Amino acid sequence: MSTATIQTIDTPDGAFMILSDEAGRVMSSGWTDDLDRLLGRLRLQDRPTAVSPGETDAAEAALAYYDGELSAIDAVEVVQHGTPMQLTGWSALREIALGQPLTYAQFATHLGSPQAVRAAASICARNAPALFVPCHRVLRTGGALGGFAWGLEVKRSLLDREAGLLVG
Q: Are 24 and 70 in contact (CB under 8 A)?
A: no
Catalytic center residues? 135
Query: Which among 75, 37, 76 has a CA at the least distance from the CA of 56?
Result: 76
**At what angle are helices 84-93 and 117-125 packed, to 10 degrees?**
80
How far, in Å, CA of 163 to CA of 98, rounded? 7
Q: Are 136 and 130 in contact (CB under 8 A)?
A: yes
Instruction: Kindly compute the dihedral angle of the four CA atoms of residues 33, 29, 143, 113, in this order, to the nearest 10 degrees.
Output: -150
